[in-house]
């Protein structure tokens, strides 16, 4: 287990805990795509693309690579070979933006040596800062927001004719439904499938509704088709991705009315069932759920399919109802605890993880203690924990003062982390002596003599190397654990 301290983020991460949900994934920050070569073999154009932020951004970079592959670009890991350099960015906390700015300054130096190089910024920071990145700061030649990726070939051409190119239009219907993403991990077994984009929730601390626009769902047929294709290529696990998967709806308006009576409607529970039916050997996960929208229907569907994994990421953010009201989360502590109770009643042995923010505007010591006491009640299996970072334009920035001193935010955060470490260890200790069905992911990154894989509840298991293929299911008896990993032997 590794605890990573940053200016604003403190997350309990582990080399294996990288594929869980929509939060920032420390190990993957700055990851570079290297997919298959362009189908247009006469072309030699090279694209270098680096990604930051949440899982959605990593998936979007695969869509971008696919759009540009059609135009003759192949991806490279070597920036010095590239004609086009793109950076897909995150705005969720201030430190995420600082990291990207440092990278852009390095790219600027490359551009000084090679003036023909096209440097572009994509994603949430592009959407948030728009033209200022081109005009005031002159850090990049091209700015494209999350709904403008189909326009990238034109934008690159515009830069080629000496212009600076911007498209930050947000769309009400773009889902890139028809684009088959270039997968990073050739021969991989776990893939992310975007099922919806944007967010309509307006949590007061969150910049996402401003950078990713209105919520919209992707055509379920294209989702199921993508999952079938992945399965046929050897993938054995899909994670359905959205900012709020419980509000997935197809052919249903946001007022709940059927849009086209001649066509079927699909909600999240039904979508999950369709994906589960692709094959009993395809594990299905999803992220992120919202406590105000998670229905018993979804829980019952999870309980009725063995291949839908017993793991729910249900961000609470705070254990105090007044703070939750200021955060505009749409639920109280009591409501949240009832959802946890429903999970345990309907899906026995379901793992639950959460996101917590310390030091939100006006948070009193008593309110903070309520977060700690909620953690005592729920006993989460994992948690992602953050210090509040004020974001421009959000409701909180406009309505409240960011009045909790940094030392107090840090102190509260360390209390939250300390508690979570205790419960993560407790959760893992309960598995010692059990036999777990593990999907083999490959070699352990930390030891040449070990392999690793995940349980249904999303715990990482390491075990001695043997003749096991990636993507196969094996039974492992758990012998020992840390707060982040189970250690076992194959039986």
Binding site for ligand 5AD (CB under 6 A): 22-23, 92-93, 205-206, 315, 317, 355, 357, 386, 388-389, 391
Residues 478 and 352: their CA atoms lie apart, in Å, by 20
Q: With contacts defined by CB under 6 A, how many residues of the chain interact with ligand SF4?
A: 10
Tell me the residue number closest to ligand 5AD, measured at CB: 355
Residue 209 binding ligand SF4, by CB under 6 A = yes
Q: To the nearest whole angstrom, how small is the minimum distance from the Cβ of residue 288 to ligand 5AD?
A: 7
> Which residue of 243, 389, 455, 456 would you call a contact of ligand SF4, by CB under 6 A?
243
What count of other Cβ atoms lies within 10 Å of the Cβ of residue 344?
13
Nearer to ligand SF4, 283 or 391 (CB): 391
386 touches which of ligand SF4, ligand 5AD, none (CB within 5 to 8 A by kind)? ligand 5AD
> Which residue of 10, 121, 206, 439 would you call a contact of ligand SF4, by CB under 6 A?
206
Q: To the nearest whole angstrom, how small is the minimum distance from the Cβ of residue 54 to ligand 5AD?
A: 7
Residue 247 binding ligand SF4, by CB under 6 A = no
Q: To the nearest whole angstrom, how small is the minimum distance from the Cβ of residue 7 to ligand 5AD?
A: 12
Q: To the nearest whole angstrom, how small is the minimum distance from the Cβ of residue 183 to ligand SF4?
A: 25
Residue that has been written with the tokens 């996402």 in this structure? 208
Nearer to ligand 5AD, 88 or 456 (CB): 88
Nearest to 359 by CA among 321, 411, 419: 411
92 touches which of ligand 5AD, ligand SF4, none (CB within 5 to 8 A by kind)? ligand 5AD
201 touches which of ligand SF4, ligand 5AD, none (CB within 5 to 8 A by kind)? ligand SF4
> Which residues lie below 8 Å from residue 345, measured CB to CB, with a gap of 6+?
none
Contact between 275 and 240 under an 8 Å Cβ cutoff? The reply is yes
What count of other Cβ atoms lies within 10 Å of the Cβ of residue 364?
12
Q: To the nearest whole angstrom, how small is the minimum distance from the Cβ of residue 199 to ligand SF4?
A: 3
Partner residues linked to 73 by β-bridges? 45
156 touches which of ligand 5AD, ligand SF4, none (CB within 5 to 8 A by kind)? none
Tell me which residues in 145-204 interact with ligand SF4 (CB under 6 A).
199, 201-203
Q: To the nearest whole angstrom, how small is the minimum distance from the Cβ of residue 383 to ligand SF4?
A: 15
> Which residues lie below 8 Å from residue 441, measured CB to CB, with a gap of 6+?
189, 190, 451, 452, 453, 454, 470
Residue that has been written with the tokens 């439904």 in this structure? 177
Q: DSSP H helical segments within 91-234, as ranges?
A: 94-113, 123-129, 132-135, 152-160, 208-212, 220-232
Count the alpha carbons within 13 Å of 65 in the hemisphere toward its beta carbon: 30
Residues 438 and 107: their CA atoms lie apart, in Å, by 42
Residue 86 binding ligand SF4, by CB under 6 A = no
How many residues would you count in the chain? Answer: 491
Residue 244 binding ligand SF4, by CB under 6 A = yes
290 touches which of ligand SF4, ligand 5AD, none (CB within 5 to 8 A by kind)? ligand SF4
Residues 297 and 385: their CA atoms lie apart, in Å, by 29
Residue 290 binding ligand SF4, by CB under 6 A = yes
Residue 208 binding ligand SF4, by CB under 6 A = yes
Query: What are the DSSP calls for 57-86, one per residue?
Result: HHHHHHHHHHHHHTTTEEE-S-GGG-SEEE
209 touches which of ligand SF4, ligand 5AD, none (CB within 5 to 8 A by kind)? ligand SF4
Residues 451 and 441: their CA atoms lie apart, in Å, by 8
Q: To the nearest whole angstrom, how small is the minimum distance from the Cβ of residue 389 to ligand SF4?
A: 13
Question: C-alpha angle 380/31/139, rounded to 5°?
Answer: 115
Q: Are strands 237-241 and 142-144 parallel, antiparallel or unpaired?
A: unpaired
49 touches which of ligand SF4, ligand 5AD, none (CB within 5 to 8 A by kind)? none
Binding site for ligand SF4 (CB under 6 A): 199, 201-203, 206, 208-209, 243-244, 290
């Amino acid at each position: 287990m590794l605890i990573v301290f940053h200016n604003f983020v403190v997350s309990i991460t582990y080399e294996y805990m990288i594929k869980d949900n929509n939060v920032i994934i420390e190990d993957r920050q700055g990851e570079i795509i290297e997919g298959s070569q362009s189908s247009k073999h006469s072309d030699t154009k090279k694209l270098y693309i680096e990604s930051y932020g949440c899982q959605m951004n990593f998936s979007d970079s695969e869509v971008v690579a696919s759009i540009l592959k059609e135009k003759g670009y192949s991806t490279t890991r070597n920036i010095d070979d590239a004609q086009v350099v793109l950076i897909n960015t995150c705005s969720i906390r201030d430190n995420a933006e600082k990291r990207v700015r440092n990278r852009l300054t390095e790219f600027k130096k490359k551009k000084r040596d090679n003036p023909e190089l096209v440097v572009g910024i994509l994603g949430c920071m592009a959407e948030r800062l728009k033209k200022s990145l081109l005009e005031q700061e002159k850090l990049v030649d091209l700015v494209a927001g999350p709904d403008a990726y189909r326009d990238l070939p034109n934008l690159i051409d515009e830069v080629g004719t000496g212009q600076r190119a911007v498209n930050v239009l947000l769309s009400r219907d773009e889902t890139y439904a028809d684009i088959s993403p270039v997968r990073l991990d050739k021969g991989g077994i776990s893939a992310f499938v975007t099922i919806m984009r944007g967010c309509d929730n307006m949590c007061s601390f969150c910049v996402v509704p401003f950078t990713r626009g209105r919520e919209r769902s992707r055509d379920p047929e294209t989702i199921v088709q993508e999952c079938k294709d992945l399965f046929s290529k050897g993938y054995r696990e899909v994670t359905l991705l959205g900012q709020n998967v419980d509000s997935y709806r197809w052919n249903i308006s946001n007022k709940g009315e059927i849009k086209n009576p001649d066509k079927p409607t699909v909600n999240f529970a039904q979508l999950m069932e369709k994906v589960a039916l692709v094959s009993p050997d395809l594990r299905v996960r999803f992220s992120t759920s919202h406590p105000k929208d998670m229905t018993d229907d979804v829980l019952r569907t999870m309980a009725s399919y063995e291949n839908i994994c017993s793991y729910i990421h249900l961000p609470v953010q705070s254990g105090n109802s007044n703070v939750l009201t200021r955060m505009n989360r749409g639920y109280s502590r009591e409501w949240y605890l009832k959802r946890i109770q429903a999970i345990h009643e309907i899906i026995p042995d379901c793992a639950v993880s959460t996101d917590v923010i310390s030091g939100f505007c006006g948070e009193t010591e008593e309110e903070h203690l309520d977060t700690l006491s909620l953690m005592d009640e729920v006993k989460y299996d994992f948690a992602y924990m953050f210090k509040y970072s004020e974001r421009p334009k959000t409701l909180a920035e406009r309505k409240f003062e960011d009045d909790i001193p940094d030392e107090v935010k840090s102190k509260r955060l360390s209390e939250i982390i300390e508690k979570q470490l205790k419960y993560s260890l407790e959760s893992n200790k309960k598995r010692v002596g059990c036999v777990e069905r593990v999907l083999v992911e490959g070699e352990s990154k930390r030891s040449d003599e070990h392999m690793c894989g995940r349980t249904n509840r999303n715990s990482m298991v390491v075990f001695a190397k043997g003749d096991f293929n990636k993507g196969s299911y094996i039974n492992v008896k758990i012998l020992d654990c840390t707060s982040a990993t189970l250690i076992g032997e194959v039986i």
